[in-house]
Amino acid sequence: MLEIKNLHVKLEEEDKIILKGVNLSIGAGQVHAIMGPNGSGKSTLSYVLAGREGYAVTEGSALLEGTELLEMEPEERAAVGLFLAFQYPVEIPGVGNMTFLRTAVNAQRKARGEDEMSAGDFLKVVRAKAKALQIDAEMMKRPVNVGFSGGEKKRNEILQMAMLEPKMCVLDETDSGLDVDAMKLVADGVNALRGAGRSFLVITHYQRLLDHIAPDVVHIMADGRIVKSGGPELALEVENNGYAGILAEVE
């Protein structure tokens, strides 16, 4: 599904190099997790995949089902099936959450040459999905993420993901700031979307989320590289012993 090869990234405005050769291959239907110390480059990887400005790719590639993502505009990446759940979802005063979602769904459909979703169908689908995530109608009417609690923002990200039905979902610390029940809701939301045609890259600091969303592979990122990969037991090791042991071992 997603094939990242030797990805090197620096800041556009400065000489700071952040990603120093990331290699990652996620098969169709797989769930991979990335863990790693603060500042190791996890969010940068997710932003670069999504096409945020401010980063320069100096080397490497990222293919989604064989198509180079790094050459595309952010909206084109979304249309071919990439989705990023933001570590810090953005507040957009003046744009209603419902309008935002419908605009996004229809823009992607249009880009793929599909018919727009009718207002009635859209409403039906969004209501059902919002209900499953316990997002009430009031929240849907409010401007995007404005006045939402941390947990509400994260659930709203998952709602967007559920509506957009992407192929490759990157979740950047979607579990941070969630209480136990909300974490369960989010995990259920993710699990409901799991299937042969959809893959996940879950960035997290905690084993807890991975209890609910069982990953196929766990990667450890440090200083801009994937330094170790393994099974779910790797997350447990991090949880119990921190990164020191793992990092010393790979040195």
Partner 1 sequence: MAAPQAKLDALAARIAGLSFPVAGWLGAARADALDRLAAMGLPGKRDEYWRYTDPAALTGAVPLAAALFDESDEAVAFSGIDRVKLVFVNGVFDTAQSDDPALAGVEIEHLADAGAADIHWAREVYGVLETRGQTPVQRPLATLATAFATGGLLIRATGKAAKPVSLIYLQGSDTSDVILHHCIKVESGAELTLLENGNAAARLTMVMEVEVAAGGRFHHIRAQGRAHQRHAATHVFARLGAKALFKSFTVTANGALTRNDAVIELVGDDAVAHVAGAAVGDGAFHHDDTVFVTHQGLRCESRQVFKKVLKNGATGVFQGKILVKKGAQKTDGYQISQALLLDDDSQFLAKPELEIYADDVKCSHGSTSGAIDDTALFYLRSRGVPEKAAQSLLVLAFLAEAMAEIDDADIAEDIRARLESWLARHEH
Ligand X SMILES: Nc1ncnc2c1ncn2[C@@H]1O[C@H](COP(=O)(O)OP(=O)(O)OP(=O)(O)O)[C@@H](O)[C@H]1O
18 binds ligand X (CB under 6 A): yes
215 binds, among Mg ion, ligand X, partner 1, none (CB under 5 to 8 A by kind): none
Distance in angstroms (rounded) separating the CA atoms of residues 168 and 157 = 14
Residue with tokens 């994937």: 226
Q: Which two tokens stand for residue 121?
A: 């169908």
Cα 49 from Cα 168, distance rounded (Å): 11
No. of H helices and E strands in the chain?
10, 12
Kindly indicate which of the ranges 85-93, 103-111, 180-188, 210-218 contains the residues binding Mg ion, using the contact rule CB under 5 A. Answer: 85-93
Over the window 29 to 48, marking each residue x when it contacts ligand X by CB under 6 A and - when it does not, the resulting string is -------x-xxxxxxx----
What secondary structure does DSSP assign to 207-237, as a single string?
Answer: HHHHHHS--SEEEEEETTEEEEEE-THHHHH
* Binding-site partner at residue 75 among partner 1, Mg ion, ligand X, none, CB < 5 to 8 Å by type: partner 1
**Residue nearer to partner 1 on the CB measure, 89 or 224:** 89
Print the binding letters for residues 43-72 with partner 1: x by CB under 8 A, - otherwise.
Answer: -------xxxx-------------------
Q: For 163-204, give the secondary structure using H, E and C.
A: HHCCCEEEEECCCCCCCHHHHHHHHHHHHHHCECCEEEEEEC
204 scored as a contact of ligand X (CB under 6 A): no
Residue type present at position 40 = S
> Which residues on neighbouring strands pair with residue 59, listed in sequence order?
8
Q: Name the residue nearer to partner 1 (CB basis): 197 or 245.
A: 197
Strand 217-222 vs strand 31-35: parallel, antiparallel, or unpaired? parallel
Residue 43 sits in the site that holds Mg ion (CB under 5 A)? yes
Binding residues for Mg ion (CB under 5 A): 42-43, 87
Binding residues for ligand X (CB under 6 A): 11, 18, 36, 38-44, 54, 87
Binding residues for partner 1 (CB under 8 A): 50-53, 73-75, 77-79, 83-84, 86, 89-95, 99-100, 103-105, 107-108, 111, 143, 160, 164
